[in-house]
Structure 1
């Protein structure tokens, strides 16, 4: 039996945490290594807690880590696993499971009521591990993109709705907004994000959350859609979504357009995005564990 001990990441120098992250994700299904400045930026922007994240050690050597974020919604504490990985030399020895079990114990100590994570769909070993400790798959998440102009949509596109543009945080005022389980689509993660609200005769009909990126010269280089929802009970969901996405995609501009972690269960949105030419480049599974 391997003897594993744990330390909070806050006890390590930040460069040590960054190096452990990169070493632990070596050989991962997708590139996950980050330079120090981007690692620090991600930790801050996603609300990851070094104090309540863990490094694990075997025979005095750092073997892996888990990074956690925590948010309060309606008096409930939710946790997000923002990355779990084990160094290649320590894989296949049960260390990942020991780390995850200690992490669940940490969640219980902190009063977490629901724990969420995402795993790449092809990562069968990780999914099996998470299921073995009580996580359940509740949805698939689609990552999509296109470099092409959006078909059948230009500046002459017309629809019967009224549009209000704002910051992402303003979406919380809409009567049907709810936080949802996709951490990076949450308003706290989208501090520099923007929103499109769609109204029908003064009644809120839908919204979209997105982020734009620009070159140093101020040219638009990319648009990423994080979420788009329609008010419950509407029979014109696709029309509402198309109106919102016309504003999001800015059809007159030339740039890369992407959609990140779109819930496959949102079938109207998935169909609208496919019709706009966005191709799925990767899928994740959304997993939840009630504590």
Structure 2
């Protein structure tokens, strides 16, 4: 088996898009998309085609790996934004070979932490990632709400003031953490908004979300990405409820989703379930760090 890798930047973008779709054919989740959506994904997820890979076996396209890179607090971190192998090349050990080659690329780039997400029921993929050094560090919940059960009395908002703003404003909050759950991180949230919760003059919580509108300008959907109270707050639940009341707009009729909520944020998960959110899909968040 003759294996060759090319950087995606060496290929026409139509070839890259076609390789993505062909590699994901028949996967657990249909990740195929038209060229326009693929280009939007490259932009939104800050995917680096110069440091992403096309894999060829015996001269034929066989698989793809898309990577993102970011500098954070003086170190380079990375995210594997999609790895897939075409149907004709599966079950032959190519996945591990591709992952090891990609981790060698990370080492060349001096990556200190690398993340990826995998569907929690995709045991073969998780075993593959663990075999090359990744470990599960959290679960990510995707939740939907058919009927919101959140009103003034239960929101806890009377004790707080809530200020709406642009998503980038939360980067100044000392307890905002960046670079872990990439698709829920400010640099990846185009046109997103935030709410900041105050107890008097003290900033005590925040939320990140995005609203979508139909062609008549009517609110169609709200997606929650993050919601957090300041560490050590005994009233954390009330702070979160105050933020959620401002974000979810209970008096409006629209679709509501919570995307990639970390399961370790138990207070937030409990409140979301309490007000009507149920799980629709779960991913595992995995971390790789080079040996020192």
TM-score class normalised by the smaller sequence = over 0.9
* Equivalent residues of 1:154, 1:252 under 8 A apart: no
Give yes or no for the alignment of 1:21 onto 2:3: no
Give yes or no for the alignment of 1:174 onto 2:185: no
Aligned pairs for 1:1-291 (under 5 A) are 2-148=1-147, 150-153=148-151, 158-291=157-290
Q: Counterparts of 1:234 and 1:68 in 2: how far apart (Å)? A: 37
Q: Aligned residue pairs: how many?
A: 289
Query: How well do the aligned residues superpose, as a CA RMSD in angstroms?
Result: 1.3
Instruction: Report the CA distance between 1:156 and its aligned residue.
Output: 9.9
Q: Counterparts of 1:288 and 1:137 in 2: how far apart (Å)? A: 6
Give 4+ residue runs of structure 1 displaced > 4 Å after superposition. 154-158
Matched residue of 1:103: which SS? helix
Instruction: Report the CA distance between 1:30 and its aligned residue.
Output: 1.4
Instruction: Report the CA distance between 1:214 and its aligned residue.
Output: 1.0
After the TM superposition, which of the residue ranges 241-250 and 155-164 deviates more from structure 2?
Answer: 155-164
Q: TM-score, normalised by structure 1?
A: 0.97
Q: TM-score, normalised by structure 2?
A: 0.96
Q: Counterparts of 1:103 and 1:173 in 2: how far apart (Å)? A: 33
Instruction: Report the CA distance between 1:180 and its aligned residue.
Output: 4.8
Which consecutive unaligned segments of at least 5 residues does structure 1 have?
A: none
* Equivalent residues of 2:55, 2:61 under 8 A apart: yes
Instruction: Report the CA distance between 1:155 and its aligned residue.
Output: 9.8
